[in-house]
Chain A
Amino acid sequence: MIVPRREFLKMLGVATGTLGLGGCDRDWLVPDRLVELAQRGPGLESQVPTICGLCESGCGLTVRLVDGLPVGLKGNPHHPLNRGGLCPVGQAGLEVLYAPNRLRAPQRRGAGGELEPVSWEDALAEVGGLLGKMRSEGQGSRVALLTDEPGRLFHDLAARFAQAVGSPNISSTKSQGLLPFTLTQGIAQVPGFDLDKADLVMSFGLELFEDGPAPLHAISAMVGSRQTEERAAHIYAGTRLSAGSSRAEVYVPIEPGTHGALALGVAHVLVREGNYDRDFVAEHTFGFEDWIDDQGRERLGFRRLLLERYYPDRIARICGCDAATVVRVARRLGEAAAPLAVVGGEGSQGSNATWTGVAVHSLNALLGVFDRPGGVSLPPPIPLTPLADPETSSLEQAESIFAPGGSVGAFGVDAVEKLAERVIDGTYPIDLLIVVSSNPVYSSPAGQRLSQAMEQIQSVVVLTPFLDETSAHADLVLPTHVFLESWQGTTTPAAVAFSTLGLGKPVIEPLFDTRHPGDVLLELGRAAGGPAGAALPWVSYPDYLKERMEGLVISGEGSVVTGSFEESWVHFLEERGWRFLEHRSLENFWAALERESGWWNPVPARGDWARLFRTPSGRFEFFSQTLERHLRDVGGMTADVEMSEEEALERGIAAMGSQVDGDEVLLPHFEPPIASGAGELQLLPFRPITARGHLAAVSPMVAEMFGYPFLDGWQTWAEIGTDTAHDLDLADGDLVAVESDRGSIEAVVRVHPAAVPRTVHVPVGLGHVQPGGVADGIGSNPIEIVEPIRDNLSGVLSTTSSRVSLRLLRRRPHGGPAPMDGGH
Chain B
Amino acid sequence: MTRWGMVIDLDRCTGCGSCMAACHQENNLAAVGPEESSRDRAFHWLRVLPEVSGSGAEVKVRYVPQPCVQCDDPPCVRVCPVHATYLGEEGIVAQIYSRCIGCRYCMAACPYNAKVFNWYEPEWPGDLKQGTNPDVSLRPKGVVEKCTFCHHRVVKAREEARAAGREIRDGDVTPACAESCPARAIEFGDLEDPTSRVSELTRSPRAFRLHADLGTRPKVYYLAERD
**A residues whose Cβ falls under 8 Å from a Cβ of B:** 19-24, 26-30, 34-35, 38, 43, 66, 69-75, 82-89, 91-92, 94-95, 97-101, 209-210, 215-216, 219-220, 223-225, 228-229, 231, 241-244, 246-247, 249, 253, 511, 689-690, 700-705, 708-711, 713-715, 722, 752-754, 774-775, 778, 815, 819-820, 822
Contacts and interface: CB of A to CB of B under 8 A. Distances in A.
Contact of B21 (A27, A69, A92, A822): A92
A24 B201 contact: no
A760 to B, nearest CB: 18
A98 B28 CA distance: 14
A342 to B, nearest CB: 16
A422 to B, nearest CB: 40
A244 B16 contact: yes
A219 B182 contact: yes
Nearest to A41: B134
Contacts of A246: 15, 60-63
15 contacts: A29-B126, A72-B26, A83-B182, A84-B179, A84-B182, A85-B180, A85-B181, A88-B16, A99-B128, A210-B16, A223-B14, A223-B183, A231-B12, A704-B33, A709-B15
* Shortest 6 CB-CB contacts between residues of A and residues of B: A85-B182, A100-B126, A243-B15, A700-B31, A94-B131, A88-B21
Given A223-B183, A753-B61, 6 more contacts: A71-B133, A220-B183, A224-B12, A711-B50, A753-B59, A815-B40
B171 to A, nearest CB: 12
Contact of B42 (A26, A704, A822): A704
Contacts of A223: 12, 14, 182-185
Contacts of A815: 40
Interface in B15-41: 15-18, 20-22, 24-26, 29-34, 37-38, 40
Given A84-B182, A711-B47, A91 B131 contact: no
B15 A74 contact: no
A74 B22 contact: yes
A20 B31 contact: no
B178 to A, nearest CB: 10
B104 to A, nearest CB: 15
A677 B184 CA distance: 45
A680 B15 CA distance: 31
B142 A20 contact: yes
Contacts of A94: 25, 131
Contacts, number: 236
A89 B21 CA distance: 8
A230 B18 CA distance: 21
Interface of B: 9, 11-18, 20-22, 24-26, 29-34, 37-38, 40, 42-44, 47-52, 55, 57, 59-63, 118, 121-122, 125-134, 137-142, 176, 179-185, 201, 225-227
Given A241-B61, A243-B63, A29 B18 contact: no
Contacts of A86: 18, 22, 180, 182
A244 B180 contact: no
Contacts of B38: 714-715
Contacts of B20: 88, 705, 708
Contact of B16 (A21, A70, A209): A209
Given A87-B16, A704-B31, A820-B61, A753 B55 contact: yes
Given A66-B134, A710-B50, A754-B59, A91 B16 contact: no
B50 A709 contact: yes
B130 A28 contact: yes
B187 to A, nearest CB: 9
A244 B26 CA distance: 24
B2 to A, nearest CB: 23
A377 B151 CA distance: 46
B17 A243 contact: yes
Nearest to A822: B52
A210 B60 CA distance: 19
A638 to B, nearest CB: 48
Given A29-B126, A92-B21, A708 B179 contact: no
B22 A91 contact: yes
Nearest to A62: B179
B181 A22 contact: no
Contacts of B176: 74
B121 A23 contact: yes
Given A219-B182, A709-B63, A711-B47, A243 B34 contact: no
A219 B51 contact: no
A243 B131 contact: no
B106 to A, nearest CB: 19
B27 to A, nearest CB: 11
A721 B53 CA distance: 15
- In this complex, the member of B9, B47, B179, B185 whose beta carbon has the largest number of chain A beta carbons within 10 angstroms is B179
Nearest to A321: B57
Given A23-B121, A71-B133, A231-B12, A100 B180 contact: no
Contacts of B142: 20
Nearest to B13: A247
B125 A700 contact: yes
Contacts of B29: 701
B14 A243 contact: yes
B132 A91 contact: no
A84 B184 CA distance: 9
Contacts of A754: 59, 61
B131 A70 contact: yes
Contacts of B47: 708, 711
B133 A72 contact: yes
B140 A22 contact: yes
Contact of B128 (A73, A95, A229): A95
A26 B17 contact: no
A689 B61 CA distance: 18
A87 B180 CA distance: 8
B50 A820 contact: yes
A23 B139 contact: yes
B131 A97 contact: yes
Given A98-B130, A224-B182, A711-B47, A85 B18 contact: yes
Contact of B180 (A30, A38, A75, A690): A75
Contacts of A92: 21, 25
Nearest to B160: A45
Nearest to B179: A74
A713 B42 contact: yes
Contacts of A705: 17, 20-21, 24, 44
Given A92-B21, A713-B37, A28 B127 contact: yes
A87 B18 contact: yes
B52 A819 contact: yes
A23 B138 contact: yes
Nearest to B43: A704
A774 B17 contact: no
B122 to A, nearest CB: 7
A705 B140 CA distance: 22
B196 to A, nearest CB: 14
A95 B131 contact: yes
Given A38-B130, A82-B182, A689-B17, A714 B25 contact: no
Contacts of A220: 182-183
Contacts of A66: 134
A778 B34 contact: yes
Contacts of A820: 50, 52, 61
